[in-house]
Chain A
Amino acid sequence: GIQVEQSPPDLILQEGANSTLRCNFSDSVNNLQWFHQNPWGQLINLFYIPSGTKQNGRLSATTVATERYSLLYISSSQTTDSGVYFCAVTYSGAGSYQLTFGKGTKLSVIP
């Protein structure tokens, strides 16, 4: 199956700092999403971005499908950004419904 690798696994930031999270995937995809899992466990959609660039406030994401990676940028981090960030993809092979998750990046933003 398709492999998804996220880096770094853990990240500690001072409030106000910027960061880049990376997601590498091993095959062609037709779905790539970034999620933020909050301390209560809820998975919150950040971006649906199988290709291109999107921005939403302090967050932006870029996926280069031909090179099989995606980046999530967090600018001016806040303590509420803490949690685990997941990248998830669906292989573009016919009939695939499985959203394959990376192991996540655990972000801790300290005041």
Chain B
Amino acid sequence: SQTIHQWPATLVQPVGSPLSLECTVEGTSNPNLYWYRQAAGRGLQLLFYSVGIGQISSEVPQNLSASRPQDRQFILSSKKLLLSDSGFYLCAWSVGGSYSGNTIYFGEGSWLTVV
């Protein structure tokens, strides 16, 4: 069966420091991968999605970047964190391909607090 893991689960980072959140999926090949952010307790916003290695699409302009160095690995990064980057970050996957009407599965999430 397919599983998705992301880490770290919690982190507290000072303003201006770098960030790296990692996500891996097991049990499937060529998945679509996503990074979402949830701020202020509700409402999830899509940050990035990827349909293949090295293919990244960004939905909103921001201080963050994403990379997909391997088929089932998705990384969220920042060179210099801002206070506004605080939030709950969720990695997700769905069956690959151009069709968007597939079930999306989420990882456990990472709580980021920028101080």
Contact = CB atoms under 8 A, between A and B. Distances in A.
Interface of A: 30-31, 33, 35, 40-43, 45, 48, 50, 84, 86, 88, 90, 92, 95-99, 101, 103-104, 106
B42 A30 contact: no
B100 A41 contact: no
B72 to A, nearest CB: 17
Nearest to A31: B101
Interface in B9-57: 32, 34, 36, 38, 42-44, 46, 49, 51, 57
Contacts of A43: 90, 106, 109
A97 B42 CA distance: 20
B104 A41 contact: no
28 contacts: A31-B102, A31-B103, A31-B104, A41-B38, A41-B88, A42-B106, A42-B108, A43-B90, A43-B106, A45-B105, A84-B42, A86-B44, A88-B44, A90-B100, A90-B101, A95-B98, A95-B100, A96-B100, A97-B34, A97-B46, A97-B49, A97-B51, A98-B49, A99-B36, A99-B44, A99-B46, A99-B92, A99-B104
